[in-house]
Amino acid sequence: MSDAMSRPGTLVGQRVLRVNDGKLLTGAGTFVDDLHLPGTLHAVVLRSPIAHGRLVAFDAAEALTMPGVVDVLAPEEARDATRPLRCVWLMPGQGQVDYPVVPRVVRHVGQALGVLLATSVAAAEDGAERVRMEFEELPCVVDVEAALGDAAPQLDPGCPGNVAVDLPRGDPPDAVEAAIARADHVVAMRFAIQRLAGSPLEARGVVASWSPATGELTMWSSTQVPHHARDHLAGALGLALDRVRVVAPDVGGGFGPKDHLYADEVLVCLAAMRARVPVKWIEDRREAFTATVHGREQIHEARLAFDDDGRFVALHSDVLADLGAHPSNVGAGPAFVATGMLEGPYRFDSSGGRVRGVLTNKTPAGAYRGFGMQQAAWVRERLVDEAARTLGADPAELRRRNMIRADELPYTTHTHQNYDSGDYAAALERATELVGEGLPAAPDDGRRRGVGLCSYVEFTGLGPSAVQEIVGFALGGYETAVVRVEPDGRATVLTGVSPHGQGLETSLAQLAADALGLPITDVRVVHGDTATAPYSAAGTIASRSMTVGGGAVVRAAGRLRVKILDLAGHLLEAAPGDLEIIQGVVQVRGSPTAAVPLRTVAEKAWLAWGLPPGMAPGLEEKDLHDPQDISYSYATHAAAVAVDLATGRIEIERYVVVHDCGVIVNPMIVDGQTHGGVAQGIGNALLETLVYDDVGQPRIATFHDYVLPGTGEVPDMVVEHTQTPSPFIPGGMKGMGEGGTIAPAAAIGNALANAVPEIAHLVTETPMTPARVWGWLDAAGVATDW
């Protein structure tokens, strides 16, 4: 690293208030439904009302007579005009590798079939009610284990037995079995993780506009991945990439599901091309529950083997991932990661797993914050606590005993994760300490109380590209930043990542401002428009924006700093090494009178007058940052709960997070991301679940049915950090956006089992609703009458 890049800045690590809050607080943000293009027509996506069947008739004649209805894009027309969407993460041997924009045989309720356009949303909904669709219904299967049965309907010819993916993970099965057989004890449990909806408060939506004159299609989209969406949109419609522009305006949350282009978005664009006026489609909430990918649903048959002295010997999980109707863009990826991160922060003689991705007649499952790592933590950390119970050991002590020590890092796991840096036990110690502090003496209210821990290691900063290639995830793992000092001395950062609440407009600016010696107010981050932003294959997913994207900013800004100092040295007749930049002025260190404003340096650079020999004009640097390796964040969460033995209701009385995500650029933002992650984790743990009936009809239509945590369900929490820099990321950051979500279910589940050990063996399913917990209490004979 050059001196410029390693120079300690004044802004990194500071609680810098966010630069874009003003517009969001005054209602001046621009979300996709806030766009009002003249002449816009409103789309309703026509969707399958059944879970499985062949569309045999489609008749829009009556709909077209309705007031305000302008056009109907029929399934046959859409099919003829589009190419299938590719699955992006392909597992070896995956039986289905793409899916049609409009299928001949629908496989889930809510699958898109066509589009109706009208002059208002209400008129479009009136019209859609008059579109007649007839189906030849086929038997359906909604349960993942039933889908494996001999009698199950077969959903895809490429996936016999409905198995789309079947692959081993980690050590060879024989080796894992042999290790398990050698151990003194085995805890074997079956865990079920429910189906969740990421539910960003702004659902999906697009505005599509086609210019026949230029042959250019523009799609404003509530997406996490504008370039990725553009690439797939052009592919689906057979357009050249330079004719397609995707803009992510302000985006009201993502959490994973907005990580790819959806078939319905292609249909809306196609309808706009035919209508030759802008078309807007805003997903409504009921629609979102079936049209947007779900997350999480997996079953794990898992075993932890250990010796009398508490040493972990082996770990194995056989995973059934319910992929839904077809592999989504990420397919069995979450199960791949669940098995890949199953070992967590511990040593094992042997570890492995099996991943089966199975098709069912439900909405496809895709990315959701925590991506497999939540499941891994739930399974492993519950097993660890049950091992402790078997041995009569303290759960914290058992963890400590088996944790990879700081001096053992870097460390390669059985699934080839190269853990980089940190001190896992330190986080455990501190969390254990903190959870006991400040807990009031338990009132004698008849409730049982307990404390639970969850320690995990988190894969962050998706990349490097070479790793992506190895695992078959067809997304370049790099990011690009362009950092420019404009002729007026202010800086512009162009980034390919696409923030939607994470505050990258501020934190990336902090990185650049530090390198360039500018105040934060003089740096502007530009993002989200494929016409102006540098190419980003992966976008803002997988806790990678600050590591991969931020690393690019650090490197580009660092190189730009070198050039600024070279040119300023030339102007000041001083050695560049003697110069520093303070608040936009380049000066000789210790001699502030020998100074030149950055603005003057910039003017010279962009005029290209009087440059030193060989120096190129301008002050702009571009960096393509393909990280050297993955960065692994880690944490221990601790929860203290009270359990009502009469109702099964769990109250979280204290929640502690001790976390390490490397160098923290903005502690305020990092804490905020952690709070939000924990809140989603609490929803996962206690509240949320997507339910289908036997014929594949969703029983969820509203936020009354699907229970998201509110302020009453999320307590204030203690969040502390340590900072072990990533050795691989310029700037030393590690990813952290997902971290909070990973641990709450396991920490709360362990706390419940600690409070009521009589039901410990039953604590295997989420959400732990009062009714479910009461069922466990009742089964164990510990439920009280009142």
Partner 1 sequence: MTGPQTRVVRFAVNGRPVQVTTEVRTLVSDLLRHDLELTGTHVGCEHGACGACTVLVDGAPMRSCLMLAPQVDGRDVRTVEGLAVGGDLDALQEAFRSEHGLQCGFCTPGILMTLTGEREAGRTVEDALAALPGHLCRCTGYVNVRAAVRRAWSQLEGS
Partner 2 sequence: MKPPPFRYHDPRTVEEALGLLAEHGDEARLLAGGQSLVPLLNLRRVRPRVLIDLNRVEGLDGVDAGAGVVRTGALARAVGVERAPAVASALPVLPEALLHVAYPQVRTRTTIGGNVAHADPAAELPAVLAAVGGDVRLRSAGGQRTLGWSAFFSGRHRTACRPDEMVVAVDFPVAEGFAYTFSELTPKLGSFAIVGACVGLSRSGDEVTGARIALCGVADTPVRLQAAEQRLTGGAVDAAALEDVRALVAGAIDPPGDLHAPGGYRSHVAGVLVVRGLRRLWGAPA
Instruction: Work out which of 392, 712, 781, 786 binds partner 1, going by CB under 8 A.
Output: 712
Interaction between residue 277 and partner 1 (CB under 8 A):
no
In the complex with partner 2, which residue's Cβ is closer, 9 or 770?
Answer: 770
Distance in Å, CB of 43 to partner 1, minimum: 15
Quick note: the x/- pattern for partner 1 over 666-685, rule CB under 8 A, is: --xx-xxx-xxxxxx-----
Nearest CA to 748 out of 775, 773, 728, 723 is that of 773
- The torsion angles phi and psi of 123, rounded to 5 degrees, stand at -65, -35
- Which residues, at least 6 apart from 704, have a Cβ–Cβ distance to it below 8 Å? none
Nearest approach, Cβ of 190 to partner 1 (angstroms)?
A: 31
Determine which residue in the list 137, 470, 521, 703 makes contact with partner 1, applying CB under 8 A: 703
Residues in contact with partner 2 by CB under 8 A are 120-122, 125-126, 129, 284-286, 646-649, 687, 691, 699-702, 704-705, 707-713, 769-771, 774-775, 778, 783, 785-786
DSSP letters for 138-196: -----SHHHHTSTTSPP--TTSGGGEEEEEEEES-HHHHHHHHHHSSEEEEEEEEE--B
322 binds partner 1 (CB under 8 A): no
- Among partner 1, partner 2, none, the one that 21 touches (CB under a kind-dependent 5 to 8 A) is partner 1
Least distance to partner 1, CB of residue 689, Å: 16
Dihedral (Cα; 561, 565, 568, 570), 10-degree rounding: -140
Q: With both helix axes pointing from N to C terminus, report the angle between 373-391 and 744-755 in degrees, rounded to the nearest 10.
A: 20
Pick from partner 2, partner 1, none: which does 334 bind, CB < 5 to 8 A by kind?
none
Q: Is 472 in the site for partner 1 (CB under 8 A)?
A: no
Closest to partner 2 by CB, 641 vs 700, is 700
Q: What is the nearest approach in angstroms of partner 1 to the Cβ of residue 777? A: 27
If one counts every other C-beta atom within 10 angstroms of the C-beta of residue 483, the result is: 30
Which of partner 2, partner 1, none lies near 80, with the C-beta cut-off 5 to 8 A by kind? none
Give the Cβ contact number of residue 727 at 10 Å: 14
Nearer to partner 1, 35 or 594 (CB): 35
**Tell me, what amino acid is at 509?**
A
Applying CB under 8 A, among 31, 135, 411, 774 the residue interacting with partner 1 is 31
State the Cα–Cα distance between residues 42 and 39, nearest whole angstrom. 10
Instruction: Considering the complex, state which of residue 173 and residue 770 has its C-beta at the smaller distance from partner 2.
Output: 770
Using alpha carbons only, give the angle 774, 682, 312 rounded to the nearest 5 degrees.
85
SS3 for 429? helix
* Termini Cα distance of the chain: 66
Q: Which two tokens stand for residue 649?
A: 């209701």
Residue 503 in the binding site for partner 1 (CB under 8 A): yes
Q: Is 25 a binder of partner 1 (CB under 8 A)? A: yes
CB of residue 701 vs partner 2: minimum separation in angstroms?
7
> Quick one: which of 309, 573, 716, 785 contacts partner 1 (CB under 8 A)?
716
* Amino acid at residue number 202: E
Residue 426 has a CB neighbour count (10 Å cut-off) of 17
| Binding-site size, partner 1 (CB under 8 A) | 55
Query: DSSP for 282-312?
Result: E--HHHHHHHS-BB--EEEEEEEEE-TT--E
> Using the rule CB under 8 A, is 530 a contact of partner 1?
no
646 binds, among partner 2, partner 1, none (CB under 5 to 8 A by kind): partner 2
779 binds, among partner 1, partner 2, none (CB under 5 to 8 A by kind): none
What is the closest distance, in whole angstroms, from the C-beta atom of residue 119 to partner 2 in the complex?
Answer: 13
Contact partner, 775, from partner 1, partner 2, none, Cβ < 5-8 Å per class? partner 2
Backbone φ and ψ of 700, nearest 5°:
-115, 120
Assess 740 for contact with partner 1 (CB under 8 A). yes
Under the binding rule (CB under 8 A), the answer on residue 39 touching partner 1 is no
The reply on whether position 501 binds partner 1 by CB under 8 A is: yes
Q: How far apart are CA 348 and CA 723, in angstroms?
A: 26
Residue 606 lies near partner 1 (rule: CB under 8 A): no
Using CB under 8 A, pick the residue from 314, 717, 745, 747 that binds partner 1: 717
Nearer to partner 1, 438 or 710 (CB): 710
Q: Among 639, 500, 572, 536, which Cα is nearest to 203's?
A: 500
Q: Enumerate the β-bridge partners of residue 596.
A: 586
Any contact of residue 284 with partner 1 (CB under 8 A)? Answer: yes
Is residue 675 exposed (0-12), middle (13-18) or buried (19+ Cβ within 10 Å)?
A: middle
Between 200 and 353, name the residue whose CB sits nearer to partner 1. 200
We find the least distance from the C-beta atom of residue 49 to partner 2, in angstroms, to be: 14
Residue among 128, 112, 13, 15 nearest 68 (CA):
128
Binding mask 85-124 for partner 1 (x = CB under 8 A): ------------------------------------xx--
Residue 593 engages partner 1 in binding (rule: CB under 8 A):
no
